[in-house]
């Protein structure tokens, strides 16, 4: 009997524990059954949809806008390059024009300077020439010296002494002297002036640069010396009427 009583108590105790355990197992089993009851295709579908990447949205308008922007930038760069080139060209032209103007001004100034220097030289030469024109006193000594200067230019030989000696014999130094008694006077062509030259002789042997007035002292002396140089070699060789 006691053995059976122990067996029943143990049986009741185990049964309570078993019930609790069985309840937990049942709950777990139900969950497992519910999970396993989901179709395999549905599980695959869910996994695939979760792994699938989100679709990227894009617009062709944005690409067009980018292309247009790049084109505009290139056009702007090209226009800027053209403007820079045009400015360089304009600057070069302006510099060339300025340089040409400066060179023209320099040439003009140089020409003006040369003209001024030439005018100055001409003025100096004129002054020198004027200064070189020696003035002679209006007397016998001055007349002889001036005549000798002219004779020298024309390579006509004569000396101061030879001229002076013949003047004193012919007219005593009177430039208005005239011979009205000799053969020449009888023939209507009297001798005149310092060296008593007849008009035809004076006209024929007249020296350029002197007066055509036979009574002019310098012209009379010069023409007479020119005649004497041709006929006698020099007025120095004349010692009497000639």
Return the pLDDT at 177. Answer: 97
pLDDT in tens, 129-169: 665 668 999 999 999 999 999 999 999 999 999 999 999 99
C-alpha span between 175 and 196 (Å, rounded)? 9
Q: How many CB atoms lie within 10 A of CB 162?
A: 19
Q: What is the mean pLDDT of residues 211-239?
A: 97
pLDDT in tens, 91-140: 999 999 999 999 899 998 989 989 988 888 888 877 766 656 689 999 99
- 235: DSSP letter: G
Q: Contact 220/194 with Cβ under 8 angstroms?
A: yes
Residue 178 has phi, psi (to 5 degrees) of: -145, 140
Confidence class for position 66, pLDDT limits 50, 70, 90 = low
Q: How many CB atoms lie within 10 A of CB 190?
A: 17
Token readout for 208 is 């350029």
- CA geometry: angle 113, 118, 121, nearest 5 deg: 125
C-alpha span between 83 and 85 (Å, rounded)? 5
Q: Contact 223/201 with Cβ under 8 angstroms?
A: yes
Which run of H or of E encompasses 102? helix 60-132
Confidence class for position 85, pLDDT limits 50, 70, 90 = confident
Return the pLDDT at 69. Answer: 72
pTM: 0.48
Return the pLDDT at 59. Answer: 55
- Exposed/middle/buried for 144, CB within 10 Å: 0-12, 13-18, 19+? buried
Query: Residue 71: is its pLDDT beyond 60?
Result: yes
Q: Contact 52/44 with Cβ under 8 angstroms?
A: no
Q: What is the mean pLDDT of residues 204-219?
A: 97
Return the pLDDT at 64. Answer: 61
Q: Which residue has the higher pLDDT, 44 or 139?
A: 139
Q: Is 173 left (phi over 0), alpha (psi -120 to 50) or beta?
A: left
Q: What is the mean pLDDT of residues 20-35?
A: 49
C-alpha span between 111 and 102 (Å, rounded)? 14
């Amino acid at each position: 009997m006691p053995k059976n009583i122990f067996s029943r108590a143990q049986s009741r105790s185990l049964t309570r524990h078993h019930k609790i355990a069985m309840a937990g197992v049942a709950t777990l089993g139900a969950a497992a059954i519910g999970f396993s009851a989901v179709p395999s295709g549905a599980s695959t579908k869910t996994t695939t949809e979760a792994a699938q990447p989100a679709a990227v949205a894009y617009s062709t308008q944005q690409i067009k806008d980018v292309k247009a922007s790049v084109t505009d930038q290139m056009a702007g760069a090209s226009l800027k390059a053209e403007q820079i080139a045009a400015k360089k060209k304009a600057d070069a032209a302006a510099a060339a024009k300025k340089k040409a103007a400066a060179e023209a001004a320099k040439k003009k100034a140089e020409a003006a300077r040369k003209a001024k220097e030439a005018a100055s030289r001409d003025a100096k030469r004129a002054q020198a020439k004027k200064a070189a024109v020696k003035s002679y006193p209006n007397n016998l000594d001055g007349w002889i010296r001036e005549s000798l200067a002219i004779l020298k230019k024309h390579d006509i030989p004569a000396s101061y002494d030879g001229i002076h000696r013949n003047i004193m014999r012919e007219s005593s130094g009177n430039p208005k002297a005239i011979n009205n008694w000799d053969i020449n006077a009888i023939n209507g062509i009297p001798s005149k002036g310092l060296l008593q030259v007849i008009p035809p002789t004076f006209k024929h042997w007249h020296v350029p640069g002197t007066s055509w007035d036979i009574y002019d002292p310098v012209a009379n002396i010069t023409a007479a010396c020119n005649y004497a140089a041709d006929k006698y070699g020099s007025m120095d060789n004349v010692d009497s009427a000639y």
